[in-house]
Amino acid sequence: MMEPTGYLLQSAVSGKLYADNGWMLDSGEDGQGLLCSVYDSTQLTDRGASAGLFRFADWLPVSRVVPNSNSPVTYKSTALAARLGLENLWITFSGYWPEKGAAMSTCSFKETEAYSVISRLRPDEKKILVVASAGNTARAFARVCSDNDVPVIICIPADNLGALWYDRPIAPCVKVIATQHGSDYADAIELADVICRISGSAVGVDGFIPEGGAKHIARRGGMGTTVLSAATTIGRIADGYFQAIGSGTGAIAAWEASKRLHADGRFGTNVMRLMLSQNAPFTPIYDAWCAGTRDLAPVSPEKARMYEKQIMAPVLANRRPPYSIAGGLYDALTATGGNVASISNDEACRAGALFAESEGVDICSAASVAVASLVKAVANGSITSDEVIMLNVTGGGEVRYRNEHVTTSMRPDRIVDAGYKYDDIVDVVKSLFV
C-alpha cells in the first residue's frame, strides 16, 4: 500500500505555498495563476514498469493507487532517426504497442491524466466528477472511471462522439452529455461549468466537482510522466521536446517535470526547449507566439468551429488554452527558449505515414502533427543532429488495437441543443439520476 504523496501547492503569481485541501484548483487570492505541486521528495524514485503510472508516484499528487494503469514507454529510434539524420532521437510512446511494452487500451496519453486525477480523488468522495473533453480525454476518463466505479459526467461535442470507442462495456456510473452538432470543445467546457454550478439537492445527488482542466495539478502531473519516462530511460533531460498542442497543458506539464528533474540533480542542468506545434489553420497559440504577445487574439466561436472542421487533428482545436495565465504556456515557452510551428494537414499526413513506415506502428493525427514539426525543425536547422531529442507521441496503435479487438461506440445519454438555459441543464442532469 502506497502512502499518500507529500506535497504543497505553490502559486505562480506570488510564490506563496499552500496546503492542499484535497482538490484545490486555485488559491482564491492570487488572481489568474496556476498552482504547481512542490513535492517532499526532491529526488525521484522509479518504482519500475510493474507499478504502471505510479512508478513515478513521488511526483504525482495522489492519495491512493488506482489499479491497472500504464506509463508511457521511451525508446531510442533507429529507423526514423536515420531518415532524419538525428543521432539521439528518443520517442516517448503512449498507446498500444505490445512489443514495446505499451499497453494503453485507449491508445492515448490522456490515460495518464485520468489515472492521476482519479487517484487524487478521495475514495469516500460522494460528489460527482465533471469532465469536459474534445474526445481522447473523454475516452480515457470513461474507461478509468468505469473500471473503478467513479461516478462522472463527461461533456463532449456531439461531432466528436466517435472518440468514445471501447472493447468492453462502460459502467452506468459514467454519464455522457454532448453539446449539439456543430459545437466545439469550448462549448463542452461551458456546459461542464454550468453543471458544476447546479446544487446537488436540485438533482438528487451530493453535488458536483469540476475536474479542472489545466488548473488541475494531478492532470499536469500525469501528463508530465512522459518527460519522467524519457529522462529515466535516457539518463538525462532532453535538449528538445516535440509535441503537438491544443490547450498546451501537456507542454506546461513537461516544463514543470523538467524543472523537478533539474532540482533532482541527477539528470543534468540543461534547459529542455519546448518545440510545439499546431494544426493549421487552427493556430491561436502559434499566432500569438509569433506576434511576441502574451495575449491571444480573440476568435469568434463561428470562426473557431469553421477552422476545427478544416484540420486533420480536431482534438488540437481549443479556443480557450492556458496560454496567458501565470505559469501557463507563454511562460513555459519563454523560460525554455521554445518555439511553436504551424503544420498543414498535408505535412501531418506525410509525417504520420513516415512514422508508420519507419517505426512500424500507426499514430494518431495529433502525434502526426508533432512528427511533422520535427521534420520541419530538422529541415530549417532549428535543431542539430547531435542534440538529444524527445518526441512525445501522444497516441498510437489505435488502428492495430481496433483490428485486434472488437470495439463498439458509446452513445451519449443526452444531447443538448444550442441556446439552452440553466433550468434546461438542471432537468437534463436530473433525468440522468432518476
For residue 407, give the DSSP letter.
Answer: -
Mean residue pLDDT of the chain comes to 95
pLDDT digits (tens, 9 = 90+) for 214-225: 999 999 999 999
Q: How far apart are CA 64 and CA 116, in angstroms?
A: 9
Tell me which of 250 and 29 has the higher pLDDT. Answer: 250
pLDDT digits (tens, 9 = 90+) for 348-372: 999 999 999 999 999 999 999 999 9
Cell output for 429:
442532469
Cell output for 136:
481522447
Query: Residue 195 — pLDDT band, cuts 50, 70, 90?
Result: very high
H or E element, residue 421: none
Q: How far apart are CA 195 and CA 205, in angstroms?
A: 12
What is the reported pTM? 0.96
Cβ pair 25, 215 in contact under 8 A: yes
Q: Is the peptide bond before 281 cis (omega within 30 degrees of 0)?
A: yes
Q: How far apart are CA 240 and CA 337, in angstroms?
A: 10
Of 62-66, 252-256, 259-263, the poorest mean pLDDT is in 62-66
Gap between the terminal Cα atoms of the chain: 37
DSSP structure string for 2-52 = PPPPPEEEEETTT--EE---SS----SSS-SB-EEEEES-SS-----GGGG
Query: What number is the average pLDDT over the span 163-169?
Result: 95
Cell output for 124:
469516500
Res 434: pLDDT: 74
Alpha helix locations (H) across 130-182?
Answer: 136-147
Q: How far apart are CA 115 and CA 119, in angstroms?
A: 6
Q: How far apart are CA 30 and CA 22, in angstroms?
A: 19
SS3 66: coil
> Position of cell 505562480?
12
For residue 363, give the DSSP letter.
Answer: B
Query: Residue 1 — pLDDT band, cuts 50, 70, 90?
Result: low
For residue 57, give the DSSP letter.
Answer: G
Q: How far apart are CA 274 and CA 20, in angstroms?
A: 29
Q: How far apart are CA 285 and CA 317, in angstroms?
A: 11
List % helix, strand, coil for the chain (3-state, nearest 5): 40, 20, 40
Query: Residue 28 — pLDDT band, cuts 50, 70, 90?
Result: confident
pLDDT digits (tens, 9 = 90+) for 288-321: 999 999 999 998 999 999 999 999 999 999 999 9
Q: Is the pLDDT of residue 202 over 70?
A: yes
Q: Is the pLDDT of residue 189 over 80?
A: yes
Tell me whether residue 183 is exposed, middle or buried, using C-beta atoms within 10 angstroms of its C-beta: 0 to 12, 13 to 18, 19 or more: buried
